[in-house]
Chain A
Amino acid sequence: MSRPDSTNPVPRATAPPQRSTDPRSPRRPPRLRSLAAAELRQFSRNKTLLVMGTALPLAIPAALLAIERSHGALTSVAVALSVEAFLMYALVFVVFYTIVSTATTRRNEGVLKRLRTGEAADIQVVTAICAPAFALAVGSFLLTLVLVEVFGGPHPSFFPLVLAALFGGVTVFAALGFVTSGFTKDAESAQITSLPVVLLAGVGMTNIRGILPEGPVSDLVAFTPIAVVSDMIHLGWADFSFWETLSRSVKPVLVVLAWSVASVIIARRSFRWYVR
């Protein structure tokens, strides 16, 4: 590096602390936008995460809806089961797994430590890590609704509950992603450390719950995250009256809320910013 010459537009390091009016210094984007854009860019360059996060979440409901449609007109239950299958996949393999992998990789690269030396707040760094997963989960959810429309399925009877299921599930599985990253050494070992959450999610699916014998185990499984999210999806497509839907949704909504609060608290305590 040679000494810059006088014609070189070198920024003066002692500029005033307030936002520069220097015409050579274009306005900076908000911190979160800048960090999230970098995360999205990196996500788009990771072929494994890209395929897992884009093609598969849509292939699952598309296949299920097509099969059901081939048997006749789509029922509310069939649509709810397809949306539930989508949501299970999106929450576990798009939101949870992407966050475990990304947070662990950024920590191992030293990026998290480096970002903490700058002006960005911790919450901005964490939200940026979540950005690709959130964008894909919401985007593919909207496309799933389009698929339901294309296959001629019924609309949800109580859409706010379906939205609450989506955002509650995203919050819980994002937080569980940071918790899991806390004890994950690298992106490869994430395949092993993710198993407890994958199993926790799997047992909550309606089809699995259906084959469990009634008793304390099935009662316990009914409180798992995917179980309550599924209940909300099914209620969202059910033909109950408004008040009945509302009263039946109190329990799953409260359980999702409790999972959200608990998992966020544990994530805040257990997440590691630095490599030990």
Chain B
Amino acid sequence: MGTIIKCEDVTRFYGPGASRVTAVDSVSLEIEQGEFFGLLGTNGAGKTSLMETMQGLVQPNFGRVAVMGVDPVKDRKKVRQHIGMVLQSGGLPRELTVAETLTMWRGTCSNPAPVDSVLQQVELGDRAATRVGSLSGGEQRRLDLACALVGRPKILFLDEPTTGLDPEARRSTWSLFERLHSDGVTVLLTTHYLDEAESLCGRIALMHQGHVRLSGTITEIVKAQPSIISFECSPATWSTLPDRLRAKSLLTDARQCTIRTADVQSDLRVLLHWAGENGLDLRSLQAVRPSLDAAYFSLVDQVEQSGAAVQSALASGRTS
């Protein structure tokens, strides 16, 4: 398995001069053939802007992108026949039926699959004669996916593909993605559903404000995060906590004590021993193992706090 997509110092910005907004800022990453890779981030994090450079829809302002070893813009013909895309918004003609739409798309592909089987694959076989304008939002997303699949892609770009789907449709779409992945298709998914990334992706990159802040396997990312032990606690009680725990803890105004720990089992044992010795009833006691959600929100908090610190330093610099 070699590298199938490579981004080197990719930068993309919008707007002229002073109003310039940097959507992607010197991002470098490599995606291996056959990988299920997730690009995560909030709205405006730069996921779609980065993905568009990989899809060959635009050239980055700086940096280089290679897909299957070639520039996806300059060598569009070589690359495009091997990729399928699902965009954030649809783009299907409302007056055509489902089958007519897919037939049209099929006619533009170099190596297309039969229409009927692709419609069955996305479970729209019984809607073949329905006009696109009469489909539900979820059905339109599935037809969009069918258009991406009809060209038998080697790389599938999915830009928030399950937005607007109900929970059942989301789950079944996931199993379709898993099947495509097991068939050897390289999948690049952008999503802001962390559970989606956790279920599907082998490796992820967390984007925030145009930068990739964290990347790796979910296990690696999660492992670097602390577990959380929490319980109700008064300030007087908190002050009697063993030093080892108090140093890692935070007491909120709502009298909630939170201990962030990399060694949850040992610290929990110490906590319970201390509570037993002091005859305390630890109400609402919880021990939560690290999750992708925690990693993500911790990252966002860190970036925002450092941003606030910079702003504050700049402000104090201006006033001094």
Q: Which chain A residue lies CB-closest to B149?
A: A13
Q: Do A117 and B87 form a contact, CB below 8 Å, given A2-B172, A12-B183, A111-B93?
A: yes
Q: Which chain A residue lies CB-closest to B52?
A: A117
Q: Is A118 part of the contact surface with B, judged by Cβ < 8 Å?
A: yes
Q: Is B121 part of the contact surface with A, judged by Cβ < 8 Å?
A: yes
What CA separation (Å) do A120 and B104 show in the bound complex?
A: 11
Q: Is A34 part of the contact surface with B, judged by Cβ < 8 Å?
A: yes
Instruction: Give min CB distance, B216 to chain A, whole Å.
Output: 26
Instruction: Give min CB distance, B95 to chain A, whole Å.
Output: 5
Q: Cβ of A11: which chain B residues have Cβ within 8 Å of it? A: 113-114, 117-118, 121, 149-150, 152
Q: Is A244 part of the contact surface with B, judged by Cβ < 8 Å?
A: no
From A15-23, A77-85, A163-171, A195-203, the one touching the partner chain is A15-23
Q: Is A66 part of the contact surface with B, judged by Cβ < 8 Å?
A: no
Q: Which residues between 99 and 147 of chain B lie within 8 Å of chain A, taking CB atoms?
A: 100-101, 103-114, 116-118, 120-123, 142, 144, 147
Q: Cβ of B110: which chain A residues have Cβ within 8 Å of it? A: 17, 19, 119
Q: Do A13 and B114 form a contact, CB below 8 Å, given A1-B123, A28-B109, A33-B107?
A: no
Give the residue among B81, B104, B122 with the most A Cβ atoms within 10 A.
B104
Q: In the complex the two chains form, is A28's CB within 8 Å of B147's CB?
A: no
Q: Is A37 part of the contact surface with B, judged by Cβ < 8 Å?
A: yes
Q: Which chain A residue lies CB-closest to B150?
A: A11
- Interface size class for chain A? 35 or more
Interface residues of chain A: helix, strand, loop or mixed (majority) = loop
Q: Is A213 part of the contact surface with B, judged by Cβ < 8 Å?
A: no
Q: Cβ of A113: which chain B residues have Cβ within 8 Å of it? A: 87, 91
Q: Which residues between 31 and 56 of chain A lie within 8 Å of chain B, taking CB atoms?
A: 31, 33-35, 37-38, 41-42, 45-46
Give the residue among B107, B172, B180 with the most A Cβ atoms within 10 A.
B107
Q: Cβ of A25: which chain B residues have Cβ within 8 Å of it? A: 112-114
Q: In the complex the two chains form, is A10's CB within 8 Å of B121's CB?
A: yes
Give the residue among A18, A31, A110 with the most B Cβ atoms within 10 A.
A110
Q: Do A14 and B185 form a contact, CB below 8 Å, given A35-B104, A38-B96?
A: yes
Contact of A118 among B105, B179, B185 (CB under 8 A): B105
Q: In the complex the two chains form, is A10's CB within 8 Å of B111's CB?
A: no
Q: Is A29 part of the contact surface with B, judged by Cβ < 8 Å?
A: yes
Instruction: Give min CB distance, B124 to chain A, whole Å.
Output: 9
Q: Cβ of A8: which chain B residues have Cβ within 8 Å of it? A: 117, 120-121
Q: In the complex the two chains form, is B109's CB within 8 Å of A119's CB?
A: yes
What CA separation (Å) do A266 and B293 show in the bound complex?
A: 51
Give the residue among A3, A10, A24 with the most B Cβ atoms within 10 A.
A10
What CA separation (Å) do A170 and B112 show in the bound complex?
A: 34
B150-188 vs A, Cβ < 8 Å mask (1 yes, 0 no): 111110100000000000010011011001100111000
Q: In the complex the two chains form, is A119's CB within 8 Å of B81's CB?
A: yes
Q: Cβ of B149: which chain A residues have Cβ within 8 Å of it? A: 11, 13
Q: Which chain A residue lies CB-closest to B173?
A: A1
Which residues of A are interface residues toward B (Cβ below 8 A)? 1-4, 8-20, 24-26, 28-31, 33-35, 37-38, 41-42, 45-46, 106, 109-120, 124
A-B contact pairs, 25 of them (CB 8 A): A1-B172, A1-B173, A2-B172, A4-B120, A10-B121, A11-B117, A11-B121, A11-B149, A13-B149, A15-B113, A20-B112, A20-B113, A20-B152, A24-B117, A28-B106, A28-B112, A31-B107, A34-B104, A34-B108, A35-B107, A41-B95, A41-B96, A110-B87, A113-B87, A117-B57
Which residues of B are interface residues toward A (Cβ below 8 A)? 55, 57, 77, 80-82, 85, 87, 89-96, 100-101, 103-114, 116-118, 120-123, 142, 144, 147, 149-154, 156, 169, 172-173, 175-176, 179-180, 183-185
